Every structure is written in C-alpha cells, then in structure tokens.
Structure 1
Amino acid sequence: MTGMDWNAALTYLPYFLEVLLWGAVTTVICTAGGFVVSVALGIVFGGFSSSPSPLLRGIAYVYVEVFRAVPLLTLLFIIYFGLATIGLKFDAISAAIIGFGVHGGAYLSEVFRAGILSINKGQSEAAFTIGMTRLMAFRYIILPQSVRVVLPPLANFAIGLLKDTSLASAVAAPEMMFNAGRLASETFFATEIYLLVALLYLCMSLPLSYLSRSLERRMGKGYAR
C-alpha cells in the first residue's frame, strides 16, 4: 500500500485508538514516575550543591556533570540491558522510570539549586537563632519558599518529559510510540498512525502547557506584590 488512504484508515480508527490509548496509559505512568524520581533527586542534589559542605557539593557536581553528559537513550540501554548482565534486572517500564528520573534529576538539581540560592540567607540565620538545625531549616523554611520559584520550570520540565517518554520504546516499554510502531508494521498505515500519535501527544501536552503559563502568571503577580 502506498500513499495515504484515509478512507481505509478510518475504518481501523477505533482499533488504532484502542491500542494507542493503552500505550498512552503507559506513557502517563512513565511520565509521572520519572517526574517524581526527578523531583526527589533534584531536591536532594540541589540541596547538596547549595550546601556549605565541600563533600556534598562535590557529590552533586559529579552527579550533575555525569548524567547531563550521558544521552538519555544510552542511559536507558545501560539500565535495561547493561545492568541485567550483572544481575540487576528491571522490566521495561521500571527501567524507563529510573532512566528518566536519574537523567531528569541532574537537570532539576540545578533548578532547585537556583531556587534555594534565591532565598535570602537571613531566612536560614533566623531559623538557626530559634534552635533549628540546618536540615530543619532547609525542610521547613528554605525548601517551601524555593518551590514557589521553581514551579514554572517544573511544569516545563514535565512537558519535555512527556515527549521524551517516546524513547522508552527503545527498551520495549509498551508506550504510545512502541504501540504505534507495532500498528504501522501490522497495517502499513504508518503516516496516518503517527499523525494520530502526534495528535494524542498534543492533547496530553496542552493541559501541561496551560498549567505552565498559569503558574508563570501567578508567580509574576506574586513577585509584583
């Protein structure tokens, strides 16, 4: 079959949507899981990189430089295929979540570091004067205030992560792109299927884009006051 045959493709549309929407569920799972891991690592290593301890700053520096330098696809292959050779086996979805999380955490650590450093040092000093430890001051004073600064970048990161989950198809995670490839090989409606995938990604990305713009406006009003 050559070219686009929309009439024939429309007859398969319910089947296409069923398969792709099941893949979309996996896409959302990978996105949500990777986002949670990225934020957790971003907070930890962002805190390390803004710490007065040279050791913690060094650990954060190595983590950020290494995982920002390694391509995400290469990292997924290492986690899924490479670690299996030493007995650490992960299923495709778990490997994808870990890979997205570790890779994304390296970027978000810099976002959180900037957010933490944007808080006036007097906040920490005031916390110390009332008997708080450095960890308590970070948890209860610094981090809550820095979250307000980093919310818009976090929303933008989530949009990018949603699109990056298409790389999980390389390790056979049954997300949308993996299912789309299977459908295209079965039916030869490659153009129509991938256009439908693009539309589904758009439908999932638009709410996140709206959330990002809304957060930016709210943050801007907050700073204006």
Structure 2
Amino acid sequence: MSTQWLRFVDRFPHIIGLLLTGAVVTVIVTAGAFVVSVLLGLAFAGFRTSDSRLLRALAHAYVEVFRSVPVLTQLFIVYFGLAALGIRLSPLPAAVVGFGLNGGAYLTEVFRAGIEAVARGQTEAALSIGMTKLTALRVIVLPQATRIVIPALANFAIGLLKDTSLASAVAAPELSFNANMLVKETYLSTQIYMSVAAIYLGLSLPLSALSRALERRGARGSRA
C-alpha cells in the first residue's frame, strides 16, 4: 500500500466525517431547491397555459432568461448581487434560491408539456359539470400530468443533486466544498475525490430506484 493510501486510512475518520457533514448540506440544498423549483414550475406552467397573453409573456420571459444564463452566474447574482442591494443571504439560502430559480425555468416546460399531454376534452367535460378552470386543473389535469412528468422530475432531481457542487463557489459548505478543503489540508486528492464520487453515487442510486418505483406505480394507476 502506498504512503498516500496509508495516510488516507490513518485520517479516514476525520475525512469521512467532514465529507458526510457536507453530504448532509448537499441533501438539504437539493431538497430545498427542488421544492422551490417545483412550486415555480407549477406556477409558471399555469401561466404558460393561461388564456391571458400577459401571463403567457411573463412565463415565457422567465423561462428564456433563467434557462439562458448559466446557473453559476445566477448563484453569483443571488449571493453577491443582492448583497450589493442590501439583501444579504447566507450561502445556504442563496444556493437554494439560485438553484430553485434556475430549476423552476426548466420545470415550467416539463409541467407545461405534461399539462398539454392531457386530453383537452377532459377539461371541457369538467367545466361542463360546473367545475372552475382552476378546480379542473387541480383535480383532473394535474394528477394525470404528474404521472406523465415523473421520469423528467426524477432526472431533474438527480441532475440537481450533482449540480449542487457549484454551491461551493458561494462558500456553501456542501460535499464538494468540504472535499476541496480536505484536499488543501491533506493533499490526498485522489482518495478524497474517489470518496466524494462514492457518496454522490450512494445518494443518486436511491433517487433512481424511487423514480422507477413511481413510474411503475403511475403506470398501474393509468391502466386502472
């Protein structure tokens, strides 16, 4: 065993402890940003399919702007730009807001596609029995659209989990940030980044399994 690996084994408790602490922060940022993205995606998907030209234009502008600007740039704007205006966010909330705004733009199109995939006749039938358009959307359309977009949502969640490594640029103490600190401290870059890869893999695989389970459940619900 090489000297570097012996040093890694010797310092393993310290290294893995700091990496797992960063992994917890990574999960928190991912979960928070996912919730923000879903809420924004649903809201702006509703605008995109609205009869109002103003709401459609607003949603279109949001999607185009936030999908065209790199997420790292958006993180810098949220963290540094808002601070210049007197709105100071700590790294963790800044990461959640930045990833959430960016993800919402992508999920807007995902939810819009899911809504439009549901036959329009179902909405018309709901309106004909006295439902409002909002109630028809909530009760009839969205449950079916959700089953349609589950694979895209799962892929988005996995991608978001990996993209949170960019939060290290605004000093959020997530997995990659802690890994970089450890490399500077120990110079064991190969061993530490292999450990980071294993942790990311351990976080991503359950998401993939959950996605497949939800797809199968949704398919059974559709057949029923």
TM range (shorter): over 0.9
Q: Is the 8 A contact 1:4 1:192 kept in 2?
A: no
AA partner of residue 170 (structure 2): V
SS of alignment partner, residue 5 of structure 1? helix
- The aligned residue for residue 197 of structure 1 is 196
Cα distance in 2, alignment partners of residues 209 and 95 from structure 1 = 27
AA partner of residue 210 (structure 1): A
- The aligned residue for residue 45 of structure 2 is 46
For structure 2, the 5+ residue unaligned runs are none
For structure 1, the 5+ residue unaligned runs are none
Q: Is the 8 A contact 2:147 2:215 kept in 1?
A: no
| Superposition pairs of residues 15-94 of structure 1, within 5 angstroms | 15-94=14-93
- Tell me the alpha carbon deviations over residues 125-152 of structure 1, each in whole angstroms, 9 at most, x when there is no partner: 1221222222122122211221111111
What number of residue pairs does the alignment pair up? 223
- The aligned residue for residue 174 of structure 1 is 173
Cα distance in 2, alignment partners of residues 121 and 201 from structure 1 = 41
Is the aligned partner of 1:11 residue 2:10? yes
Q: Is the 8 A contact 1:76 1:171 kept in 2?
A: yes
SS of alignment partner, residue 107 of structure 1? helix
- The aligned residue for residue 186 of structure 1 is 185
AA partner of residue 4 (structure 2): D
TM-score if structure 2 supplies the norm length? Answer: 0.95
CA positional deviation for 1:193: 0.7
Q: Is the 8 A contact 1:67 1:106 kept in 2?
A: yes
Coordinate RMSD, CA, aligned: 1.5
Q: Is the 8 A contact 1:83 1:89 kept in 2?
A: yes
CA positional deviation for 1:168: 0.3
TM-score if structure 1 supplies the norm length? Answer: 0.94
Cα distance in 1, alignment partners of residues 60 and 168 from structure 2 = 30
Report percent identity of matched pairs. 59
- The aligned residue for residue 123 of structure 2 is 124
